Structure 1
Amino acid sequence: MGKSLTFSSLLFFFFFTNFFIDSATSSCPIDLSYVETFPWNTTMCREARDPNGTQCCQTLLSLFGIGLAQHLKDTSRFQLPDLASSSSCLSNLQTKLEALSIQPSLVPQCLSATNFVANTSQCAGIITIQDWYQRVNGTTQLDSSCQGDMTGLIRCGSCVDAGKQVNSQLANFDQNNSQKCFYFTVLYAAGIANEFGPKDVRTANCILGMPLSSSASNKSGDHLSRTTQLRLIFGLLGALVGVLLALGVIILYRRWDKKERQNSVHEEYVSSFRSSVLPNAGAKWFRLSELEQATDGFSQRNLIGQGAYGVVYKGTLSDGTLVAVKQILDLESTGDEDFCNEVEIISKIRHRNLLALRGCCVTSDNQKGRD
């Protein structure tokens, strides 16, 4: 009797498992045919470039994100309705990768079906676009910064910066799911905010962080070069020395006046930041003099780009490490709090178009004299 019961249980389990698999294979609501036609860099997953497969896993997450962003655009839902449909989609993804001579076993190693199922306990309970608008109070900077051609460095940087700002806003509702909220922000930017959609090469490369094949990158680079030249020409023609000088004087005066009024408050904030926020973020504290030396005094020659929230310079630390130094400009009265949130969130987020946080610096006029 005991053997018969065990055998029956095994038969039931076998039947149930096959029934689930057969049901799942036909329930994926995402068309993954783009996997074989989109010009993505498949060498990331064909070659073991790092021992943990981080680059391949990030690539596969971005690749699957193209389909999720399109699904959001078509259905107004950020994720898949149930575990069966999610498992089916990942199974289909394995099949597509195998056709490209990529090991299908990479999918379960990098992606979990449960992570793509709609769940009210993730990211402030957001399930649909309507939930999103309620949480962010309508449209945001994403809707304007992430429109159009995302090829240019400045436009792409502005879109990524806007995404971090919205993610900070969502973190106020759900601090424990900042990574999930950031993924939702990326899906919204690619699927809703950008009119070209997530399957557009420029959109996928910038917003979803999708690495492109060499041929696609060359075309994108040629387009960027022409765009840069046009911007430079129009910029030179439109530049008036008198206006720039007047604007510079106004900006310097506003900074001086604002720092004089807030200097004592800011010094208290610097002390608090170094003792509480910085250790939690796992970042290094840099002195202003180190950053000035690394960027040659924030020289215009080292200027990489400028977005809506600051200026980015290329720098080289004393140990030879090449870094990007972002200088935040014209903070409002809530700037200190925003900066704390940004440091904490960036230290947790991993994205192709976001550099890992190495350290930060907060200073005031009085501290500059001591550095």
Structure 2
Amino acid sequence: MSLASLITIFFSISLPALAAAANSACPIDLSYVETIPWDKSLCQNNHSDCCQTVLSLFGIGLARHLKSTLMFQLPNQVAASACRIDLQTRLQSMSLQPSLVPTCFNDSNQFITSNSKCAGIVTVQDWEQKLGLTTTELDESCRRGLSDATACYSCFVAGMKVTSQLVSLGRNASNNCFYFTVLYAAGIVNELGPENVETASCILGLPLTTRPANKNSISIKNGHHLKWVFAFGSAVVVIILVLGLVLLYRILDKKRKRRAAHANFVNNLKSSLRPNTGAAWFQLRELENATNGFSQKNLIGQGGNGVVHKGTLSDGSVVAVKRILDLDSKGDEEFSNEVEIISRIRHRNLLPLRGCCAASDDLKGKQRFLVYDYMPNGSLEDHLFYTSRRDGGNTNKRWLSWPERKNIILDVAKGLAYLHYGIKPAIYHRDIKATNILWTLK
């Protein structure tokens, strides 16, 4: 919307009991109403833009009042009522319907000074304290003559930026603040003053009937003014549409590249699973079906970088599915290396890799899984510390004998020796503890 169109809402006030203000003087000199060349035909023909015209006309007086008193609005209800009476009298003398003022001014409090409007701004001093140097562009763009359409447009853009700054203060609706910007630009910034036809037409949106020969006082008719407003609005729509398409393209391109990278990663990972190792490639749906959707009921272990679920494959074999959680620090290359190395391990004291899975989607992101044979007897910790072992609902407790402890130590040592010397490159476990040693009863 433009300065011209939004001024309509700003000057929407009602006509209260005018008799109470009959003997009071309006603090605004409205004599310009009868001299300025504004287009009266809109109100004579009951045109829908009549109220905009009348309210813009009254806006000239408010801007002049701001310039002389540094107050954005009228001091009280009595002053506002007196001004409405004066305006109605002047319009009647120009053969216009007396009902225009009551019809167009339907909010009796609109012109009254209040701290609840536009971030609590009441005076120009309040304005300067809240905005500081952010009005520099407005001060420059709206200062001089605005007969040129480009100059008027620059003033409009600067006004919208200041309004956005006011709205960011977060206290009041944007409409109130926009109207304050309109009055400030016309009454304080513009050197020619609000009653000048250039200022009245561009900033306040008042439709004019004559085009003076003087370049410095040329008028911009309402249709010409609106043409630039609609042009600006169309440009904004086009810009938003283009930005939206660019953003959509980037999102889709990012998804395409991510999917291509994942497909390349999966192909490389599958190629590392050599047929003679016995490790297989699993689809995510297979593992979800096997673990009942990775339900909490199937959870059998949790560590620093993953959780383990018990699952049953379609062929009836029972497996332990480890889901890698620390994917931010554990990159795809590290996961691939881990799969390739573990899949080559073949030793009676080391648990072989049954297979792996890598999946990625827009909702859940990257998912990485390692699949091992399920060890039903739990870990060494369950037996070493006389802890309950659950197996089919039964509980089994017993102490480990000293010969059993000796055999465990020897088996662990044999497994470590194989990792250190029996495979190239050597593997260093770095996390030997009772929970990582699975128990096999003999």
Report the TM range for the smaller structure's normalisation: 0.5 to 0.7
1:104 aligns with 2:82: no
Report what 2:138 is aligned to.
Answer: 142
Q: Identify which of 28, 32, 35 aligns with 2:33.
A: 35
Question: What displacement does 1:21 show?
Answer: 2.8
Q: Relative to 1, partners in 2 of residues 1:219 and 1:173: Cα closer, same or farther, differing over 3 Å? A: same
1:92 aligns with 2:86: yes
Report what 2:234 is aligned to.
Answer: 324
1:177 aligns with 2:173: yes
Question: What displacement does 1:140 show?
Answer: 3.0
1:367 aligns with 2:252: no
Q: What letter corresponds to residue 150 of structure 2 in structure 1?
A: I
Question: What displacement does 1:324 show?
Answer: 2.8
Report what 1:202 is aligned to.
Answer: 198
Q: CA RMSD in A?
A: 3.5
After superposition, the C-alpha distances for 1:294-325 in whole angstroms (9 at most, x for unaligned) are: xxxxxxxxxx98xxxxxx9969xxxxxxx732
Q: Could you state the TM-score of these two structures normalised by the residue count of structure 2?
A: 0.47
Give the conservation status (yes or no) of the 8 Å contact 1:202–1:220: no
Please give the alpha-carbon distance, in whole angstroms, between the structure 1 residues aligned to 2:242 and 2:92. Answer: 43
Please give the alpha-carbon distance, in whole angstroms, between the structure 1 residues aligned to 2:85 and 2:192. Answer: 28
Larger CA deviation: 66-75 vs 131-140: 131-140
Question: What displacement does 1:79 show?
Answer: 0.3
Please give the alpha-carbon distance, in whole angstroms, between the structure 1 residues aligned to 2:22 and 2:199. Answer: 30
Report what 2:24 is aligned to.
Answer: 26
Give the conservation status (yes or no) of the 8 Å contact 1:136–1:170: yes
After superposition, the C-alpha distances for 1:239-270 in whole angstroms (9 at most, x for unaligned) are: xxxxxxxxxxxxxxxxxxxxxxxxxxxxxxxx
Report what 2:344 is aligned to.
Answer: none
Q: Could you state the TM-score of these two structures normalised by the residue count of structure 1?
A: 0.55
Please give the alpha-carbon distance, in whole angstroms, between the structure 1 residues aligned to 2:219 and 2:67. Answer: 27
Q: What letter corresponds to residue 45 of structure 1 in structure 2?
A: C
1:79 aligns with 2:49: no
State how many pairs are aligned: 230
Give the conservation status (yes or no) of the 8 Å contact 2:74–2:112: yes
SS of the residue aligned with 1:325?
A: helix
Question: What displacement does 1:96 show?
Answer: 0.6
Q: Identify which of 42, 45, 53 aligns with 1:44.
A: 42
Matches within 5 A, 1:100-249: 100-111=94-105, 112-138=107-133, 139-174=135-170, 176-213=172-209, 215-216=210-211
Please give the alpha-carbon distance, in whole angstroms, between the structure 1 residues aligned to 2:154 and 2:217. Answer: 21
Please give the alpha-carbon distance, in whole angstroms, between the structure 2 residues aligned to 1:57 and 1:178. Answer: 21
After superposition, the C-alpha distances for 1:77-121 in whole angstroms (9 at most, x for unaligned) are: 000000000011011100010011111211111113310000100
SS of the residue aligned with 1:216?
A: coil
Give the conservation status (yes or no) of the 8 Å contact 1:163–1:185: yes
Please give the alpha-carbon distance, in whole angstroms, between the structure 1 residues aligned to 2:184 and 2:172. Answer: 20
Give the conservation status (yes or no) of the 8 Å contact 1:80–1:86: yes
Q: What letter corresponds to residue 80 of structure 2 in structure 1?
A: S
Q: What letter corresponds to residue 181 of structure 1 in structure 2?
A: C
Q: Relative to 1, partners in 2 of residues 1:48 and 1:165: Cα closer, same or farther, differing over 3 Å? A: same
- Where structure 2 has 5 or more consecutive residues not aligned to the other structure, the ranges are 1-15, 221-226, 253-442
Give the conservation status (yes or no) of the 8 Å contact 2:162–2:181: yes
Name the structure with the higher strand share: 2
After superposition, the C-alpha distances for 1:201-252 in whole angstroms (9 at most, x for unaligned) are: 0011000011101x23787799699xxxxxxxxxxxxxxxxxxxxxxxxxxx
Give the conservation status (yes or no) of the 8 Å contact 1:39–1:216: no
Give the conservation status (yes or no) of the 8 Å contact 1:152–1:224: no
Please give the alpha-carbon distance, in whole angstroms, between the structure 2 residues aligned to 1:313 and 1:120. Answer: 34
SS of the residue aligned with 2:118?
A: coil
SS of the residue aligned with 1:173?
A: coil
After superposition, the C-alpha distances for 1:129-161 in whole angstroms (9 at most, x for unaligned) are: 001111212443210110111011110000011
Q: What letter corresponds to residue 69 of structure 2 in structure 1?
A: T
Higher normalized contact order (CA 8 Å, seq sep 6+, divided by chain length): 1
Give the conservation status (yes or no) of the 8 Å contact 2:28–2:83: yes
Give the conservation status (yes or no) of the 8 Å contact 1:70–1:197: yes
Q: What letter corresponds to residue 324 of structure 1 in structure 2?
A: S
Name the structure with the higher helix share: 1
Q: Identify which of 47, 60, 63 aligns with 1:69.
A: 63
Q: Relative to 1, partners in 2 of residues 1:313 and 1:178: Cα closer, same or farther, differing over 3 Å? A: closer
Question: What displacement does 1:174 show?
Answer: 4.1
Give the conservation status (yes or no) of the 8 Å contact 2:42–2:50: yes
Q: What letter corresponds to residue 34 of structure 2 in structure 1?
A: E
After superposition, the C-alpha distances for 1:318-369 in whole angstroms (9 at most, x for unaligned) are: xxxxx7323899xxxxxxxxx8xxxxxxxxxxxxxxxxxxx88633276299
Give the conservation status (yes or no) of the 8 Å contact 2:212–2:218: no
